Amino acid sequence: LLCTWFLSIIQNEFRSGKINLDITMKLFDKLQIRYDYVHLKHVFKKTTEKRKAPTINIEDFRAIYRTLVHRPEFHELFCTYAPNQKVLAETELITFLKKEQFETEANETTALEIISKYEPIEEMKKRREMSFEGFVRYLNSEDCLIFRKDHKIVYQDMTRPLCEYFISSSHNTYLISDQLIGPSHLWGYASALLKGCRCLEIDCWDGSNNDPVVYHGHTLTSKISFSSVIQVIDKYAFAASEYPVVLSLENHCSPKQQEVMADYLENILGNKLLSSAINDEVPTELPSPEALKFKILIKNKKVGTLEETILRKGEDSHGETGEILEEAEDDEEGDEKNPASPLIELPKRKCESESTAPPRKKPKMKKIKVAIELSDLVIYTKSQKFESFEQSRESQKCYENNSIGETRARKLAKQSAQQFIAHTARFITRIYPKGTRTNSSNYNPQEFWNVGCQMVALNFQTPGVPMELQNGKFLDNGGCGYILKPEFLRNLNSTFSPYKVAGETTPVALSIRLISGHQLPPSNLSKGNKADPLVHIEIYGVPEDQMKKQSSVVKGNALSPRWNETFTFTVQVPELALIRFNVEDQVSIAGNEFLGQYTLPVRSLSKG
């Protein structure tokens, strides 16, 4: 049956006897087999070199197909459950699903669904059996990904207050390169939104002809118009997720141009813009992502209270301004935003906590003018300067949010982790990179997720471990950009600290068998398709869970390296842990070359 099926699909192409690389690739597509071009080309070339001709015959094609598709580790597994080593009957498939895939509920229906979906030979389907060809397609399918299928959809409770979620957040979203001379581009917004980002940053400055512009102020980064940014956001806001988008405005505009901004926001975004409180009520807690579906929220400085905004509803406040008193050096991203004016802090002695530190010298104050029209668009995300945990606990309202620079936030997390967690259980807290990161580098977001910070803003344009952790974390919950924080980071009376986790959580024993790789990217140093791959398995989470283990090196094989090594981990706080598989090519003793990586939450690992 296998031979008949295989020939029926490929024989047409061999009517003239032989085929070239292009037709070989088309046949792989026709057989619904994914392949890597470099590896297919290399195996094809080796075959033609033996033949001393640029084409191959039907037997050569079968050999190439077997090399790329019939992986020995798949065949060993198949033969373990197929008594005649030819086919898996539905009962044998059920045994495989229960034993290997830990699908304890697997039954006849499950098996028949898999056969119907992946078995390419019609005759086999009718017999309710699976051939090795079907088994290969099943093991290579989405149903066998390491990421749990039930986490690919929104499965968490989305009716909790906004402050109870981690929110995918971007820093200086308009920049697509460095922070000083690189371009500002609309693609920064489109690409972040398409990745499920839910909090975007817009730096607004007065432009010519009374038209506000977006760029990194006091630098040579290029300028784009505010209106074009809002148009792109309007187009892509809900392409990847239906949950609310927060526009974090860093506003340097005159009141006149702030009114222009308010006009653009209202006219372009229309009813997507959240411009009044739900039911015109002052909340005692923030609304939920569910209640704010398909809404865009404005995060900005606000004059007065939400009560006053509600009372003003329907009035024409054109031309009206209010004043906000703040430190002369401060703006939304105060202390660390501007590399030209760093805030120098004297080191504290170890025994001093944030609350016992000597008071800072009284800063110079300045008055900021805010247009009421723009101020009244700020509803649940009012930017409020962070003074101290005590001050916030006493006087901060639930709809007031803080932005804290990474250096200060890191110090607070280490010195007062429990106070920080109590703060983020009540208020949305945004962390942003320090101003000296002019090359758009990123900090490790994990240390701020560990204390419950909701908006840990990263430079999305910069690849590397921090963005890989970000992308991996937010694969969870259907990639919707909102992840419900663990209970111990939401509970107002939590005693959890990431630095002392014993007794606070339930640890998980994790065992990973690294079996093999397939069609890995070849080494840059290889003329063919070779590499010397090794795998790092890394855990990111609370300090006690940070761990890295390394496999052996498989020499000269990027096509089908086999390891068969088992690694065990004890993860103390699985709710916060991410696991990263990092594949490298061993180039020399001095260093390795990155080949690829995959990061996902430990809780989203699929067994089997």
Q: Annotated active-site positions, please?
A: 171, 216
List helix spans (H) across 226-383.
Answer: 226-236, 255-269, 306-312, 334-337, 372-375
Assigned token pair, 446: 């994990």
Q: Output the CA–CA distances (angstroms, integers) from residue 118 to 1, 137, 146, 169, in the order listed.
A: 16, 6, 18, 39
> CA dihedral defined by 401, 405, 408, 413, rounded to 10 degrees?
60
Beta pairing class for 129-131 and 365-371: unpaired
HEC sequence for 281-326: CCCCCCCCCCCCCCCEEEEECCCCCHHHHHHHCCCCCCCCEEEEEE
Residue 57 CB-half CA count within 13 A: 5
| Helix residue spans in 70-186 (DSSP H) | 72-81, 90-99, 108-118, 122-126, 132-139
Which phi and psi (to 5°) does residue 507 adopt?
-70, 160
Element (H, E) at 519: none
17 residue type, one letter: G
3-state secondary structure of 268: helix
Bridge pairing between strands 321-327 and 429-432: unpaired
Sign of the torsion angle spanned by Cα atoms 180, 181, 187, 191:
negative
Pairing of strands 382-383, 87-89: unpaired
HSE-CB for 599 with a 13 A CA cutoff: 19
The whole-angstrom separation of Cα 553 and Cα 586 is 7
CA atoms within 13 A on the CB side of 88: 28
d(CA 224, CA 119): 53
Nearest in space to 189 (alpha carbons), one of 461, 501, 575: 461
> In a 10 Å sphere around its CB, with 0-12 CB exposed, 13-18 middle and 19+ buried, how is residue 531 labelled?
buried
Q: Closest Cα partner for 605 from 549, 537, 543?
A: 537
Residue 408's Cα: distance from chain center in Å? 24
Q: How far is CA 535 from the centre of its chain?
A: 22
Structure tokens at 605: 């690992």
Amino acid at residue number 425: A
Could you tell me the CA-to-CA distances from 96 to 77, 101, 146, 282, 368 in Å, in that order? 9, 7, 17, 57, 68
Q: What is the DSSP letter of 571?
A: E
Let me know if 33 is exposed, middle or buried by CB neighbors in 10 A (0-12, 13-18, 19+): middle
Closest of 159, 179, 180 to residue 171, by C-alpha: 179
